[in-house]
Structure 1
């Protein structure tokens, strides 16, 4: 039996041509949902020469809206001025579900608010971890509570991320699902290795490329060079690692404000022949960089998932990473060496990884097939589709929430769009904040009423759809 298909809008500030985990997640999820018969569009801001409407592989239609960027690719908060354009796109494309991504995305937060005002189902995927103590985190979490007070369902990429989001937005845990990131394993294959020899012990061969004590070992880093990615930690650790292990070199790919610190460290320690900085790289070139290395170093200070370490393991690299956030959930222990987010421990963990590789104790040539079996975008799309079916009422409450919890969700599951009910949900966000949020919702509703009068929906042309693929069956 074929399943119902949906018209879905993915909304986020972070999308191609900018490289990154969120960007890759949105694109891969969109293409796999299209493979299952759904219609998916992406709404993001303009990127230099990327303006207007673009079509990507598999018929992914991308709207690049002209809004100013203020910080790390996030647009300036407009709150209401995005609404008329957003409404026009929703009507033209006959969108049923608005799926926003990333806490730090202004477009995402505004789209969820406007989508609910228009009577659309909404889903939010959180890709990051945010603290609770500093002023920026407190402000961010308050805004997230505002947005998620009236969302149908929330998806997190790790169980640690789920705990963080539930606490930050004061959500019922039953309202949050965990669906991890994945990768296209065929795009991250290791270099081909020679066949093992036909000696009597070939049934248990040594790794195809054993490292000798004097062979050069390459450590790869592919990351945005920001504070939260541990660039300061990396800058402090590299000279010590190279001092302890002379036959080692680094390849660093990525850009960001902390790149200048790395360059200064290289010059001060005269490491130009030991550390190569490649600058920003396109995502399709990441595999070509990774296969040059033996170890992937990931010194992040906070991370909800860490797709790049999955890509590194798939390329056959031994992973050294900090045990923060959701990273310990991502890969099994035989593929990783964990370190505390401290300089001394990161240096020690890297030393252990180097020693293990030189002693041929790690079978990295097996990593690719193991990762391929663990992570699949097709599986992510199926699980996301199930969320869409649940919030749209196409599967029973017992099936979506579980038999034991169905009665608990009998009222809140089908969150209605009546203005008075929405205001009740927002009013509970705080003594002062609740009143402010209610005012924002009322203004948003009045703008919607004005737009419906000024430019009725039935006068907006409907866009022609890209030819759809046959809907996936229940067995697919």
Structure 2
């Protein structure tokens, strides 16, 4: 099992409980930090030197070679936005067990991740489910998991998602300063609303100062990715049409062998 060096307090409670229950279970723990001493104390207290290996900080080039040594990837984060680590774990064919925090539930398909509450009890239960799956041989092959994950976050896919967000934001109506302050004061409560409104006013004044120091005219305008008047996009569409035109009909293709 490979574990990220996060949520150390949770991990410290998980390790002794599962190692006693599963004598052949081994933990590979990657990461470095001030709480490493907690894990060292747990290993010493329960004499788990053979089952718990603290790898420390890993170079990015070495991550894959370490991950493929395990079967389960455990993430014990207490807070998380996206968690690239679980994508890397799944990409290496590992069954992922993770705390249900932040954006983690949206990262991987449900059958590739076991989500748990950020408690020792819940994580132990999730790990036992993953361990049982491996003992029963019902976990998909590592190659199959990798092939699924590698198509989830291609650069084209990420670019298309980002473009959709920008397009949606660009279509939204720009609120005036008065409307923004009114929304803050009516939606955030009488006390917090006033505080947020004050911060917004200070931010606006700071923006005016920055615009005075560096006028808008001095800022470079981003280049249109589609070219002048969408020329690049039109050229791409034209090339696609020409390729279709030059493709021979089905009955004339030399690579088709129809037998009756």
| TM-score normalized by the length of structure 2 | 0.70
Contact 1:305 1:326 survives alignment (8 Å)? yes
- 1:433 aligned onto 2:201: no
2:137 aligned to which of 360, 370, 376: 360
In structure 2, stretches of 5+ residues that fail to align are 238-260
| Partner residue in 1 for 2:152 | 374
How far apart in 2 are the matches of 1:345 and 1:450? 51
More helix by share: 2
| Partner residue in 2 for 1:222 | 4
How far apart in 1 are the matches of 2:12 and 2:207? 51
Residues 348 and 470 of structure 1, relative CA distance in 2, 3 Å threshold: same
| Partner residue in 1 for 2:46 | 269
Other structure's SS at 2:2 match: strand
Query: Which of 368-377 and 337-346 deviates more?
Result: 337-346
More strand by share: 1
| Partner residue in 2 for 1:76 | none
| Partner residue in 2 for 1:424 | 182
1:334-368 Cα offsets, whole Å, 9 max, x none, are 43445454434433443343343244332232111
2:163 aligned to which of 380, 385, 405: 385
| Partner residue in 2 for 1:253 | 30
Q: How does 1:103-118 map to 2 (within 5 A)?
A: none
Q: How many Å apart are 1:333 and its aligned residue?
A: 4.7
Aligned pairs, how many?
230
Residues 469 and 304 of structure 1, relative CA distance in 2, 3 Å threshold: closer
| Partner residue in 2 for 1:116 | none
How far apart in 2 are the matches of 1:259 and 1:378? 39
Other structure's SS at 2:150 match: helix
RMSD across aligned positions (CA) = 3.5
| Partner residue in 1 for 2:73 | 296
Q: How does 1:22-101 map to 2 (within 5 A)?
A: none
Residues 419 and 330 of structure 1, relative CA distance in 2, 3 Å threshold: closer
Residues 334 and 387 of structure 1, relative CA distance in 2, 3 Å threshold: closer
- 1:318 aligned onto 2:76: no
- Structure with the larger RCO, 1 or 2 (CA within 8 Å, 6+ apart): 1
| Partner residue in 2 for 1:398 | none
Q: How many Å apart are 1:325 and its aligned residue?
A: 5.6
Q: How many Å apart are 1:238 and its aligned residue?
A: 0.9
Other structure's SS at 1:374 match: coil
How far apart in 1 are the matches of 2:137 and 2:55? 29
How far apart in 1 are the matches of 2:138 and 2:211? 67
